[in-house]
């Protein structure tokens, strides 16, 4: 077997995936499967801008696991690819030229565009569902005559919708994969990922209260309260427009939950009514869809706690209302192991419900075509597998030579180079961001 490694450097955390496939491929296509994965402890790599060495230390446990997973004789020929997503895109907003000014070769580490992230997720989902090609029972590769599935991704800092569209007027990316042609619509909404949505909701609440330091939050459960510095909300480019005129990053906010489902839904609806989202025209959704990442985790939590199946927009809205009306004590009793995330399920469930219906246009009929999944078989659904398939030339692109892999090399040493590349960019961007925000804090 051969192996490939992808570091998924997301906005909130990093995950390392080890993939394997047979050494003998037919028509440059192997049966790729996920061998193992490892969640890196700590935040995303963009959070290490002030302390780059700590990023390398955080990767050690997962690196050791990968070394053990890949046979020693395969180490030197196993390619490692690092892809950073919306977290680094946000940092890059403050200084677009930062990455170009580093002295490193960027072939092995990339900040993916939102459209690339969406397309790679779509490729992963359809590859795992065998919509492109499958190994037939007669021992030959066959192209199944089935429609592709759309991909719905909700990460920490952005959300992506990607699907094959029959609308000739819709903006679409022409792809040629496995000898088949596809017209794929994809769009990424930066600042509409889980973590940034939560920050923006808090930012709007603070602004509506004239930035009082003690206030209630209708999206948090009754009986729950938390104190946090202003910087934890307004330190992001996504919330910068909401900052108070006299911004004190260290000012402490005391917020308590009031558990009002209707008011929370109004707050979430305000985000989707913004020009950043409402100003984007989307083609009508068509066909099956796979909803993964935070879409899956949110709906899975709702079904687990409410003991009801979410199969329609009304089901999703009802389950959301039930969660939002639960007290902190009731939530803790229902899911004690999820304590860290419990306060955020009400706002996220409202946002997911509105995003799918008002944002993406799913109705009572088309909602039935959404499958909320974390994995297909034993392989995680996300952009990482599609990214690796491209970079290892195991899935052809529209133009020959346009999707090339980094030359295989000793991936243990390459790992340090890749992390250094993005951390240099993160540090430069963070310094510039601080330089721009500090005067307003005085």
Annotated binding-site residue numbers for ATP: 156-160
Q: Are the C-beta atoms of 23 and 32 separated by less than 8 Å?
A: no
Tokens, residue 235:
């330190």
Q: Long-range contacts for 211-214 (Cβ within 8 Å, ≥24 apart)?
A: 211/244, 213/251, 213/252, 213/253, 213/254, 214/253, 214/254, 214/255
116, 117, 317, 321: the active-site residue: 117
The residues, any chain, with a CB within 8 Å of residue 222's CB and separated by 6 or more, are 257, 258, 259, 327, 328
Q: Are the C-beta atoms of 342 and 332 separated by less than 8 Å?
A: yes
| Catalytic residue list contains 117 | yes
Q: Which DSSP helix (H) or strand (E) runs through 150?
A: strand 150-154
CA 165/CA 180 separation, integer angstroms: 15
Instruction: Output the CA–CA distances (angstroms, integers) from residue 320 to 61, 217, 355, 377, in the order listed.
Output: 37, 16, 13, 29
Tokens, residue 230:
């202003």
The residues, any chain, with a CB within 8 Å of residue 104's CB and separated by 6 or more, are 417, 420, 421, 424
Q: Which DSSP helix (H) or strand (E) runs through 128?
A: helix 114-128
Pairing, β 225-229 against β 252-257:
antiparallel
**Other CB atoms within 10 Å distance of the CB of residue 440:** 15
- 48: buried, middle or exposed (CB in 10 Å: 19+, 13-18, 0-12)? buried
Active site residues: 117
């Amino acid at each position: 077997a051969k192996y490939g490694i992808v570091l998924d450097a997301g906005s909130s955390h990093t995950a390392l995936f080890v993939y394997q496939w047979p050494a003998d491929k037919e028509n440059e296509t192997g049966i790729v499967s996920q061998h193992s994965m490892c969640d890196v402890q700590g935040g995303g790599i963009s959070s290490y801008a002030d302390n780059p060495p700590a990023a390398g230390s955080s990767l050690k446990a997962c690196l050791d696991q990968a070394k053990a997973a890949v046979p020693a004789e395969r180490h030197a020929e196993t390619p490692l690819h690092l892809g950073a997503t919306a977290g680094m895109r946000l940092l890059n907003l403050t200084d677009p030229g930062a990455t170009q000014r580093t002295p490193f070769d960027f072939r092995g580490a990339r900040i993916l565009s939102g459209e690339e992230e969406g397309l790679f997720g779509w490729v992963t989902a359809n590859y795992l569902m065998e919509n492109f090609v499958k190994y037939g029972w007669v021992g030959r590769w066959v192209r199944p005559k089935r429609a592709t599935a759309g991909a719905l991704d909700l990460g920490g800092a952005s959300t992506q919708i990607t699907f094959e569209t029959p609308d000739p007027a819709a903006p679409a990316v022409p792809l040629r994969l496995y000898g088949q042609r596809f017209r794929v619509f994809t769009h990424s909404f930066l600042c509409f990922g889980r973590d940034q949505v939560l920050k923006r909701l808090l930012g709007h609440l603070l602004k509506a209260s004239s930035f009082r330091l003690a206030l209630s939050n209708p999206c948090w459960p009754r009986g729950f309260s938390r104190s946090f510095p202003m910087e934890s909300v307004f330190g992001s480019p996504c919330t910068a427009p909401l900052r108070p005129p006299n911004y004190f990053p260290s000012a402490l906010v005391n917020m308590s939950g009031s558990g009002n489902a209707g008011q929370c839904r109004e707050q979430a609806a305000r985000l989707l009514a913004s020009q950043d989202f409402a100003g984007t025209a989307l083609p009508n959704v068509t066909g099956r869809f796979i909803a993964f990442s935070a879409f899956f985790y949110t709906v899975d939590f709702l079904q687990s706690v409410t003991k009801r199946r979410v199969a329609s927009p009304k089901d999703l809205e009802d389950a959301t209302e039930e969660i939002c009306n639960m007290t902190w004590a009731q939530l803790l009793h229902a899911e004690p192991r999820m304590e860290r995330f419990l306060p955020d399920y009400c706002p996220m469930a409202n946002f997911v419900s509105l995003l799918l219906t008002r944002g993406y246009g799913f109705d009572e009929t088309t909602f039935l075509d959404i499958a909320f999944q974390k994995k297909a078989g034993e392989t995680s659904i996300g952009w990482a597998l599609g990214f690796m398939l491209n970079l290892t030339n195991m899935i052809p692109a529209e133009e020959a030579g346009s999707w090339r892999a980094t030359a295989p090399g000793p991936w243990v040493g390459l790992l340090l180079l890749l992390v250094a590349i993005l951390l240099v960019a993160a540090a430069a961007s963070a310094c510039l961001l601080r330089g721009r925000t500090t005067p307003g804090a005085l």
